[in-house]
Structure 1
Amino acid sequence: MLIKIINPNTTLSMTAKMTDCARAVASADTRILGVSPAMGPASIESYYDEALAVPGLLEEIISGEDEGCDAYVIACFGDPGLYAAREVANGPVIGIAEAAMHYASLIAPSFSVVTTLQRTCGMAWHLAERYGMERFCRNVRACELAVLELEDPHSDARRIITDECRRALDEDGAEAIVLGCAGMADLCSAISDDIKAPVIEGVTAAVKLAESLLTLKLQTAKRGDYARPLPKLYSGILQNFGAR
C-alpha cells in the first residue's frame, strides 16, 4: 500500500523529519511518500495560515489519485482541509489531530494536548469538540515555541516541551499527552521515556490508522457529505481546480 504524508506547510526539513517517523512505524509492505505542497505558508500558526495552506494540500491529494496513492495523512495538527480532501480522495484521509486524540482516548481516561503557541490552543479545542474528544481532553497547553523553532537545534525545544508535558500530568491530572504539532513527531519517544507516561503524536498514529483501514478494505464514503465536489468553473489561480 502507498500512503502519502502531506505536510501542508512548505518547510521541507520538517517534511523529511515527519516522513522518517512515518517510515519507522510503517509495515514492511507499506510505502511512504512524504511531500510538501508547491505553494503555501512556511508554517501554520493561525486560521489565515490554514486557509492559505488548503489549495496546495488539495493539489497534492489530486495528484496522489493519479500517482496511485491508497491513503493520505494530513500532517498538521489543525487538520486543515480534511473534509475537502475526503471529497476528492477515494481512499482514507486521516488528520493527525483526529488520529492522535482517538488513540489517546483508547489508552487513557484523559489526556492533555501540548502544542506550540497560545494562539493555536483554541484551534485544538475546536478539534476536540469536533471529534467528540472534549470529555477526554483535560487541557490544551502552549509551550510558546513557534513551529519553525522546532527546526532550530539551539531552541531547547525538547526540554521546553518535556517540561510542559510534566506540568500537564501534575496540574491537569492528565494520564496521557498528545503532542499538538507534527514538527514534534521525532520527540515523542524520548519525551515518553522522560515523563514515564504515554505520549502520542499524530503522524505515526495516522499512518497506523490508515494502514488498518486499508487492510479492512475500507474506502472513503461517496454518498452525502463526502460525495465528489460538483463540477463548476473556478477562476484566477484556482482555475485548474475545476477540471475534476
Structure 2
Amino acid sequence: MRITLLNPNTSRAMTDKIAVAARAVAAPDVEITAVNPDVGAPAIESHGDEILAASAVVELIEADLRAGGSDAYVIACFGDPGLDAARELVDVPVVGVAEAAMHLAAIAGRSFGVVTTLTRTLGRARDLVERYGMSRACVSLAGSGIPVLDLEDTSSEAYETIARLCEDAVAAEADVIVLGCAGMADLCAALAVRVGVPVVDGVAAAVGVASSMARAGIGTSKRDEYAPPPRRAALVG
C-alpha cells in the first residue's frame, strides 16, 4: 500500500518531519511518500495562503496520478485545504488531518480541545469544527501565537506555551487534545504524558484512517459531488 502525504507549503523540513510521524504509525507494508510544492506559500497562515495551498494539493495529486497514483492521500495541513477538490480527482481515500483528528478525538473522549498556531487561524478551525459536526464535542479552541515555521525547531519555550494551552483545555473539561498543526506531530507523546489525557496528532490519525479505508476497499464516492470535473476528467481519468 502506498500513501502520499501532501504538505501544501514549500517547507521541505516540515515535510520530512511529517513523514517521520506518519512512518512511526504506518504498518510495515505501507509505503509513505511525502511531497510538497516547489513554489507557493512557505506556511499556511492566512486565507490567501490557503488558496495557494488548495491549488498545490490539486497539482501534487495530478503529478502523482501521472506517475501511477497512490492507494490513499493525506492532506497534511490542519486547514484541510483543497480537500473537496482533491476528492474530485481520485476514487481512493483522501483524508484531511483536521478531519481525522477531530473524529478520532470524539471517539477517544466525549469532548476535545484544539491547540493550534496563530490566533488568526482560529476562524478556519471553527469552520471545520462545524463542518465535521463537532460543535458539541469541541469545548475549546486556542491559538499559541507560534508561527508554523517556528515549529520546525521547537524550543522549550514554544513547547511550554503549547503545553500550558493543553492544560487550559483540560481545565475546560476537554477529555482529549487535538494538535492543530501538522508541524506539532513530534510533540504528541510528551504532551500526553504532561497533561494526562490523549493527545491526537492529525498526521498519525489521518494515516490510520486512510490506510484502514484502503484496506477495507472504501474509497471516495463518485456518485455526484465528487465525480471528476469535466474539464479535468481527461487528465486524471
Superposition TM-score, scaled by structure 1 size: 0.93
Name the counterpart of 2:182. Answer: 182
- Structure 1 residues 242, 54: CA separation in 2 closer, same or farther (over 3 Å shift)? farther
Aligned to 1:195: 195
1:215 corresponds to: 215
Q: Distance in 2 between matches of 1:186 and 1:69?
A: 25
1:9 aligns with 2:9: yes
- Relative to structure 1, the CA distance from residue 87 to residue 143 in structure 2 (aligned partners, 3 Å threshold; closer, same or farther) is same
SS of structure 2 residue aligned to 1:222: coil
1:97 aligns with 2:62: no
Question: In the alignment, what sits opposite 1:134?
Answer: 135
Q: Would the aligned equivalents of 1:75 and 1:203 in 2 still touch at CA under 8 Å?
A: yes
In the other structure, the counterpart of 1:26 is 26
Per the alignment, residue 50 of structure 2 pairs with 50
Compared CA separation, residues 153 and 180, structure 1 to 2 (3 A): closer
Match of 1:160 in 2: 161
Q: Structure 1: where are the runs of 5+ without partners?
A: 233-240
Q: Which runs of 5+ in 2 are unaligned?
A: none
Q: Is residue 82 of structure 1 aligned with residue 80 of structure 2?
A: no
- For residues 137-189 of structure 1, give each alpha carbon's deviation from its aligned partner in whole angstroms, at most 9, with x where no partner exists: 0011111111111123447221111111011111x211110000000011101
Tell me which residue corresponds to 1:206. 206
Instruction: For residue 199 of structure 1, report the CA deviation from its aligned partner.
Output: 0.3
Please give the alpha-carbon distance, in whole angstroms, between the structure 1 residues aligned to 2:69 and 2:77.
Answer: 23
**Is the 1:112–1:177 Cα contact (8 Å) retained in structure 2?**
yes
Report the counterpart of residue 238 of structure 1 in structure 2.
none
Q: Distance in 1 between matches of 2:72 and 2:130?
A: 25
Amino acid at match of 1:217: G
Counterpart CA distance in 1 for 2:151 and 2:95 is 23
Count of paired positions? 235
Q: Deviations over 1:92-131 (max 9, x none)?
A: 0000000000000001000010001111111101001001
Q: In the alignment, what sits opposite 1:59?
A: 59
Equivalent in the alignment of 1:116: 117
Q: Is residue 227 from structure 1 mapped to residue 227 from structure 2 by the alignment?
A: yes
Residue type at the aligned position of 2:127: H
Residue 63 of structure 1, CA deviation: 1.9
Taking structure 1 as reference, are residues 153 and 142 closer, same or farther at Cα in structure 2, changes over 3 Å only?
closer
When residues 121 and 185 of structure 1 are mapped into structure 2, their CA distance, relative to the original with a 3 A threshold, is: same
Letter in 2 for 1:191: L
1: distance between equivalents of 2:209 and 2:235? 31
